[in-house]
Amino acid sequence: MTKAYSRFLTAMFCLFLGGMLVWSLVLPDRERSEVENRTLSQWPAFSWQSLKDGSFTSAVEEYFADQFPLRDQWTVLKARAEQLIGKSEFNDVYLCGDRLIAQVKDPEEDLDEKNLSYVQRLAENADVPVYLGLIPSAAEIWKDDLPAGAPSWDQSAFLQQAEALGLPMVDFDSALRTHADEDIFYRTDHHWTSLGAYYGYAAVMEALGRAEDTLPMSAFTPETASTDFNGTLYSQSGIHWLTPDTIEFWVQDDGLSITSWRTGEPQSGTLYDRSYLEKKDKYSAFLGGNQPLCVIRNEAAAGKGKLLLIRDSYSDSLAPFLAQSFEEVHLIDTRYYRMSPAQYAAENGIDEICVLFSIPNFITEKSLVFIGQ
């Protein structure tokens, strides 16, 4: 390579970087990336203290990284280039044929053991039976589909550890493994599909001793709500060339009344918030997404008991099924609701409590400390 050619390449590279810098300064800042489904960094407030401790410069670096022109397109290009050189892991997400599977990392701060102890404490404090349901993720159910040598935390061993507590368990593991050849998880998202949620519903009913009350699959008429769902793993990985997922609504909301406490006050809710179907986060159409407390009442199921779910977002698509078999289904999200579940159960006539979490969420959730109150 001649010196003239080297200088030419250097000049072109500098022009490219300079052009991108000017472009980023001219363009208005974006508040959110719909593709990545997250809030983007904004220009940080300056202080001499933040400059001294380095937090200001770190924040500026994050700002330029997030506001870089055509960031979404560069993210996809990077993932494509990495795939071409044989890479199969993209930002803790594995590309397994035509689906994405999230890696499950080792828990930090002994949260796995701590959270099990909080469930044990809840069982001791509550005056009603407490069940524990831990949902294995796709990385466990479809472990054989992971790239050779791909690390993923041993969820089966953790289930054995949970069973040693002696609490009644909801056997989601067997329910999902039995149907592992079906579309029980989305291909671009970490949640289970409505089909997977139905099998989860059957597992809950069996654990509660009410298997005979489980509605058969033939009792439902799935409605195709969306055919262009690109979920959390699509956003996280940068792999944007897979066929989008389909979201189905199986349960009709006839005869159901839903009350949500999103702002601390009771408001009329809905089984499906269809406005989310026009947004990136389409899974939040189930019950309208995250909320501190939600209660579903079914007059047609009067006398069939009141169930309290201490839960994560997997229960958003599970609860509609359970609402067909219980007079009331109460859902508490401990990230936003801090009242003692044992006290809540006593004050609201709850008959049974189920702590239902996907294993990856259970071993990373710090708010479960509040259930032991």
The predicted structure's pLDDT at residue 80: 60
- Indicate if 360 and 235 belong to the same structural domain: yes
| Residues 326, 182 within the same domain | yes
Say what the pLDDT of residue 314 is.
98
Question: Contact, 296 vs 323, CB < 8 A?
Answer: yes
| 152 vs 76, more confident | 152
Domain membership of residue 266 (yes or no) is yes
Token pair, residue 314, equals 């997997």
Q: Which amino acid is at 352?
A: E
Whole-number Å distance between alpha carbons of 368 and 334:
6
142 pLDDT more than 70: yes
List residues bridging with 295 in a β-sheet: 259, 330
Q: Is residue 222 part of a domain?
A: yes
Q: Give the range among 49-63, 110-124, 211-225 with minimum mean pLDDT.
A: 49-63
User: How confident is the model over 2-14, as pLDDT tens digits?
Assistant: 666 566 556 555 5
- The predicted pLDDT at position 48 comes to 76
Instruction: Provide the 3-class DSSP secondary structure of residue 261.
Output: strand
Does 92 map to a domain? no
Nearest C-alpha neighbor of 112 from the set 295, 360, 340: 360
Rounded Cα distance between 359 and 135, Å, is: 6
Q: Is the pTM of this model over 0.85?
A: no
What is the rounded distance in angstroms from the CA atom of residue 121 to the CA atom of residue 159? 18
Beta strands of the chain (E only): which ranges? Answer: 32-33, 38-39, 93-96, 99-102, 130-135, 169-170, 223-229, 245-249, 256-261, 267-268, 293-298, 306-311, 328-332, 352-358
pLDDT tens for residues 58-89? 766 666 555 555 556 566 666 667 766 768 88
pLDDT tens figures, 306-361: 999 999 999 999 999 999 999 999 999 999 998 999 999 999 999 999 999 999 99
Inter-helix orientation angle 314-322/194-207, to 10°: 60
- Return the closest-CA partner of residue 348 out of 290, 300, 307, 317: 307
Q: Does residue 363 lie within any of the structural domains?
A: yes
Q: 32 and 106: one domain?
A: no
Each residue of 180-203: pLDDT tens digit?
999 999 999 999 999 999 999 999
Q: Is the pLDDT of residue 33 over 80?
A: no
The answer, yes or no, to whether residue 35 has pLDDT greater than 60, is no
Same domain, 273 and 154: yes
Sign of CA dihedral 338, 339, 342, 344: negative
Q: Has residue 271 been placed in a domain?
A: yes
CA 285 from centroid of its chain's CA atoms: 13
For residues 292 and 332, the answer to whether their CB atoms sit within 8 Å is: yes
Residue 139 and residue 266 share a domain: yes
- Which whole number is the average pLDDT over 135-150? 96
**Per-residue confidence (pLDDT) for residue 53, from 0 to 100:** 76
**Residues 236 and 312 both lie in one domain:** yes
- Residue 155: is its pLDDT beyond 70? yes
- pLDDT of amino acid 1: 55
Report the candidate in 312, 99, 286, 294 with the shortest Cα–Cα distance to residue 185.
99
- Hey, what are 334's tokens? 């401990």
Q: How confident is the model at residue 50 (pLDDT cuts 50, 70, 90)?
A: confident
Q: What is the pLDDT of residue 272?
A: 97
> Which backbone phi and psi does 309 adopt, to 5 degrees?
-105, 120
Examine residue 76 and state whether it is found in any structural domain, yes or no. no
- Tell whether the model's pLDDT for residue 156 goes beyond 60: yes
Clarify whether residues 20 and 145 are in a common domain.
no
The Cα-based distances of 45 to 51, 65, 69 in angstroms read 10, 17, 22
pLDDT in tens, 232-282: 999 999 999 999 999 999 999 889 999 999 988 999 999 999 999 999 999
Residue 57 confidence (pLDDT): 75
Q: Render pLDDT for 287-300 as a digit per residue (tens, 0 to 9).
A: 999 999 999 999 99
- Residues 268 and 165 occupy one common structural domain: yes
Residues of the domain holding 37: 3-68
Q: Is residue 43, in this structure, part of any structural domain at all?
A: yes
Q: Is 58 in the same domain as 197?
A: no
Dist. CA 211–CA 362, nearest whole Å: 26
Per-residue pLDDT tens over the stretch 98-127: 999 999 999 998 999 999 999 999 999 999
| DSSP secondary structure code for residue 300 in this structure | G
- My answer on whether 116 and 19 are in the same domain is no
> What secondary structure does DSSP assign to 180-191, as a single string?
TTS--B-SSSSS
**Does any domain span residue 83?**
no
Instruction: Say which range, 43-57, 93-107, 164-178, has the weakest mean pLDDT.
Output: 43-57
pLDDT value of residue 71: 56
CA 65 to chain centroid, in Å, comes to 25
Whether residues 120 and 20 share a domain: the answer is no
**One domain for residues 139 and 287:** yes
Which DSSP helix (H) or strand (E) runs through 147?
none
Q: How many domains does the chain have?
A: 2
